């Protein structure tokens, strides 16, 4: 019995040993398989690293770095209508810091500042870029480097890891102050710009801040490119591995005639004044001058505190574009608009007469005519010719400001004109509701003084030129400055693009004929603007706009003379005109701030500008003149015959 039990125990032990061997064998096989898989994966990875990508990692093993950098695109250039350059780019040198190649920003910047002076503005700009920009975007350390500064940086490059010398572009304005208010200027982007478009953080990128540079900024800016370079441990470029060129911004061709612009500017001289020359047929701006002006290139590299202070202390405000942002009472240049309003509202006819004794009494207030002796009985034509205040006091009172406002909007007065410029102001043609919204009652007296372009009425020189062009042609043109983008002419250049004005042609004819008499009749109020250039005649309207109220006692004293007032209290001198009378091609507005008398100051100036324009005839000339034929300033030929729009007085 004992022997049998011993046999069974031995057999059980053998079975347990065999089972343990089988488990060990399976585990060993599993471990071997796992180790084999891992070794195979490692072998595959080593093969890729050493054989497939061996060259790449050999370069990296030699402490080299592959760096990809974005390239700022060159800005498009701006030309006049004949291709003369008014704004383009000039190469300049700058120092950049590549963040991903510099481990210690503070140390590098400190070493750099010991070589090249950095001011507080530079430090603030650099710190902002470090805190906000992505590491692959270079940081501008210093722009507009001299040759000696570049050499100093290159010599010390081993101690300036990540600092490189790069080429950039500086915006150059060949015409200087001549076109500053139109072309505008560029400046480095601010934080708001970069937040809206990170590409603007690229060194050398400039954004338009005013004028054409701003309104056409997206077109002019172009598209960024990139370059992949190999650099050593201190950031020096060893070789270029790949490059995708940036795309330069589109070129802009303006409607302006640069030479005419210069001639108009020369005629104005040192006056605080503005002049606009429009093509009546399609709204192209031939010349647009605002004086005084400024040098726009100063904004690219930074305006000094002393220069800014000088601008701000100048009472003539050279930074303001008078043509679009300057607002003035239009004075008597407003009278044709009042006449058209009354005709449209059927308040008057061309034959209705008003008596002028030299003053107009209403509600216990006396409103004076500029002619204290009066004009007697006048119809519409005579009232425009003599610029009678009393006639337009009465006509405005009968018509009402709401009707005058409606017609003025059709003519381009009191509206924001859609020209490609910044800071364009709408001016004001007031109405009773406008006044009441501001907590004041509208009086009939407000309407009366508005009838001669005073009171609350405010317009810009550009509006006056547009108003004149629309009256002259009956076309609903809008002024514009861009003629072509990348040599593609805009549709607005075609005269057929513009619809007819929503004012009856016979009413416009009456206003034009009155303006003809102003200049060409011997007794007209603007006869100093008269021309007869190759049979072409001019029609226009004077305007003298008060900026300081003249009391009744001063008027009746017989000793008042506005020329004796301080400059800032003298009236503005205005003149509007178009020519040729029979086939209007050009419209001009002139405002001489505090010029005093329109007939003796603004009218002759407008005449000279029109003569320059007719001789050059930029609207019908395809190429810039190589030589200019000298002609007498004013060919006074025989007395002209009555024009097509004339009638017996």
Whether the per-residue pLDDT at 450 is higher than 70: the answer is yes
Q: What is the pLDDT of residue 199?
A: 79
Beta bridge partners of 227: 69, 243
**Residues forming the active site:** 332
Q: In the chain, pLDDT over 70 holds for what percent of residues?
A: 82
Instruction: Determine the average pLDDT of the residues in 460-476.
Output: 97
Q: What is the pLDDT of residue 564?
A: 62
Q: What is the pLDDT of residue 23?
A: 57
Q: What is the pLDDT of residue 489?
A: 94
pLDDT tens per residue, range 3-42 = 555 555 666 656 665 666 665 576 667 777 777 777 777 7
pLDDT tens per residue, range 207-258 = 889 999 999 999 999 888 877 767 665 555 566 677 787 788 899 999 999 9
Determine phi and psi for 119, rounding to 5 degrees: -95, 180
Q: Can you spell out the DSSP letters for 626-649?
A: SS-----S----SPPPP-TT----
Cis peptide, bond prior to residue 580, ω within 30 of zero: yes
Q: What is the pLDDT of residue 625?
A: 55
How far from chain centre, in Å, is Cα 312? 21
| Secondary structure tally for the chain: helices H, strands E | 23, 21
Contact, 428 vs 414, CB < 8 A?
yes
- Candidates 542, 529, 520; CA nearest to 646 is 520
Whole-model pTM over 0.85: no
Q: What is the pLDDT of residue 226?
A: 77
Instruction: Determine the average pLDDT of the residues in 477-483.
Output: 97
- Non-local CB neighbours of 82 within 8 Å, separated by 6+ positions: 257, 258, 623, 624
Confidence of residue 156 (pLDDT cuts 50, 70, 90): confident
Q: How far apart are CA 572 and CA 328, in angstroms?
A: 8
Instruction: Determine the average pLDDT of the residues in 347-364.
Output: 95
Whether the per-residue pLDDT at 134 is higher than 60: the answer is yes
Residue 387: burial class (beta carbons within 10 Å; 0-12, 13-18, 19+): buried
pLDDT tens per residue, range 552-594 = 555 554 555 566 677 677 889 999 999 999 999 999 999 999 8
Q: What is the pLDDT of residue 305?
A: 75
Return the residue matching tokens 């089972």. 19
- Candidates 447, 443, 330; CA nearest to 393 is 447
Whether the per-residue pLDDT at 644 is higher than 70: the answer is no
Whether the per-residue pLDDT at 490 is higher than 80: the answer is yes
Contact, 625 vs 613, CB < 8 A?
no
Contact, 462 vs 287, CB < 8 A?
no
Q: Which of helix, strand or coil describes residue 108? A: helix
Q: Are strands 207-210 and 185-187 parallel, antiparallel or unpaired?
A: antiparallel
Confidence of residue 547 (pLDDT cuts 50, 70, 90): confident
Q: Which of helix, strand or coil describes residue 478? A: coil
**When comparing pLDDT for 550 and 525, which is higher?**
525
pLDDT tens per residue, range 287-340 = 999 999 888 877 766 677 777 787 787 777 888 899 999 999 999 999 999 999
Q: What is the pLDDT of residue 594?
A: 87
Whether the per-residue pLDDT at 419 is higher than 60: the answer is yes
pLDDT tens per residue, range 494-524 = 999 999 999 999 999 999 999 999 999 999 9
Q: What is the pLDDT of residue 223?
A: 85
Q: What is the pLDDT of residue 20?
A: 61
Instruction: Determine the average pLDDT of the residues in 624-646.
Output: 43
Q: How far apart are CA 73 and CA 96, in angstroms?
A: 16
Whether the per-residue pLDDT at 151 is higher than 70: the answer is yes
Long-range contacts: 620-625, Cβ < 8 Å, 24+?
Answer: 620/585, 623/82, 624/82, 624/83, 624/84, 624/259, 625/259
Q: What is the pLDDT of residue 374?
A: 94
**When comparing pLDDT for 139 and 342, which is higher?**
342
Q: In the chain, pLDDT over 90 holds for what percent of residues?
A: 50
Q: How far apart are CA 601 and CA 176, in angstroms?
A: 27
Q: What is the pLDDT of residue 627?
A: 43
Confidence of residue 466 (pLDDT cuts 50, 70, 90): very high
Return the residue matching tokens 């008057």. 348
Q: What is the pLDDT of residue 206?
A: 85
Q: What is the pLDDT of residue 536?
A: 95
**H or E element in which residue 276 lies:** strand 273-279
**H or E element in which residue 435 lies:** helix 432-437
Q: Compute CA distances 395 → 134, 219, 330, 345, 372, whole Å.
A: 67, 49, 17, 11, 19
Confidence of residue 99 (pLDDT cuts 50, 70, 90): confident
Instruction: Determine the average pLDDT of the residues in 516-542.
Output: 94
| Sign, Cα dihedral of 340, 344, 347, 348 | positive
Q: What is the pLDDT of residue 537?
A: 96
Instruction: Determine the average pLDDT of the residues in 364-393.
Output: 95
Return the residue matching tokens 């002759």. 604
**When comparing pLDDT for 474 and 297, which is higher?**
474
Q: What is the pLDDT of residue 10?
A: 61
- Candidates 164, 192, 166, 169; CA nearest to 100 is 164
């Amino acid at each position: 019995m004992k022997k049998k039990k011993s046999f069974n125990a031995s057999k059980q032990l053998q079975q347990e040993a065999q089972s343990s061997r089988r488990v060990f064998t399976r585990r060993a096989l599993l471990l071997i398989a796992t180790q084999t898989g891992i070794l195979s994966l490692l072998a595959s990875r080593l093969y890729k690293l050493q054989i497939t990508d061996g060259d790449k990692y050999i370069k990296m093993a030699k402490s080299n770095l592959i760096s990809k950098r974005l390239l700022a695109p060159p800005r498009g250039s701006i030309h006049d209508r004949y291709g003369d350059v008014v704004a383009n780019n000039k190469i300049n040198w700058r120092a950049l810091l590549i963040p991903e190649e510099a481990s210690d920003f503070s140390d590098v910047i400190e070493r750099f500042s010991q070589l090249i002076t950095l001011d507080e503005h530079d430090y603030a700009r650099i710190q902002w870029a470090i805190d906000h920009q992505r590491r692959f975007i270079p940081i501008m350390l210093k722009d507009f480097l001299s040759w000696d500064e570049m050499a100093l940086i290159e010599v010390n490059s081993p101690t300036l890891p990540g600092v490189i010398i790069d080429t950039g572009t500086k915006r150059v304005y060949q015409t200087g102050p001549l076109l500053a208010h139109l072309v505008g200027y560029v400046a480095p982007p601010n934080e708001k710009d970069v937040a809206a478009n990170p590409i603007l953080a690229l060194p050398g990128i400039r954004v338009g801040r005013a004028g054409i540079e701003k309104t056409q900024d997206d077109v002019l800016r172009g598209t960024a490119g990139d370059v992949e370079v190999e650099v050593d441990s201190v950031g020096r470029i060893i070789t270029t591995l790949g490059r995708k060129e940036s795309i330069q911004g589109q070129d802009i061709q303006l409607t302006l005639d640069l030479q005419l612009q210069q001639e108009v500017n020369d005629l104005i001289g040192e006056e605080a004044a503005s002049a606009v020359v429009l093509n009546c047929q399609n709204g192209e701006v031939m010349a647009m001058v605002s004086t005084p002006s400024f040098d726009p290139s100063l904004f690219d590299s930074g305006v000094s505190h002393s220069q800014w202070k000088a601008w701000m202390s100048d009472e003539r405000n050279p930074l303001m574009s008078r043509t679009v942002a300057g607002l003035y009472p239009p004075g008597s240049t407003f009278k044709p608009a009042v006449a058209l309003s009354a005709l449209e509202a059927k308040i008057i006819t061309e034959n209705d007469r008003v008596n002028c004794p030299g003053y107009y009494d209403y509600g216990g207030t006396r409103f004076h005519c500029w002619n204290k002796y009066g004009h007697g009985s006048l119809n519409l034509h005579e009232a425009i010719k003599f610029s009678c205040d009393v006639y337009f006091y009465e006509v405005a009172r009968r018509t009402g400001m709401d009707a005058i406002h409606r017609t003025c909007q059709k003519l381009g007065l009191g509206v924001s004109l859609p020209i490609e410029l910044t800071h364009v102001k709408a001016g004001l043609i007031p109405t009773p509701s406008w006044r009441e919204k501001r907590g004041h009652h509208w009086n009939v007296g407000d309407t009366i003084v508005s009838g001669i372009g005073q009171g609350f009425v405010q317009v810009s020189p550009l509006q006056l030129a547009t108003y004149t062009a629309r009256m002259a042609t009956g076309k609903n043109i809008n002024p514009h400055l861009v003629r072509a983008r990348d040599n593609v002419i805009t549709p607005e250049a075609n005269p057929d693009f513009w619809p007819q004005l929503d004012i009856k042609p016979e009413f416009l004819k009456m206003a034009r004929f009155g303006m003809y008499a102003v200049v060409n009749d011997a007794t007209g109020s603007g006869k100093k603007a008269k021309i007869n250039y190759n049979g072409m005649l001019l029609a226009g309207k004077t305007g003298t706009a008060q900026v300081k109220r003249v009391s009744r006692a001063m008027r009746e004293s017989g000793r008042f003379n506005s020329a004796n007032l301080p400059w800032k209290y003298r009236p503005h001198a205005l003149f509007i005109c178009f020519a040729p009378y029979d086939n209007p091609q050009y419209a001009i507005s002139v405002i001489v701030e505090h010029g005093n008398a329109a007939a003796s100051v603004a009218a002759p100036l407008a005449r000279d500008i029109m003569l320059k324009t007719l001789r050059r005839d930029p609207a019908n000339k395809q190429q810039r003149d190589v030589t200019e034929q000298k002609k007498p300033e004013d060919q006074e030929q025989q007395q002209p015959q009555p024009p097509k729009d004339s009638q017996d007085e």
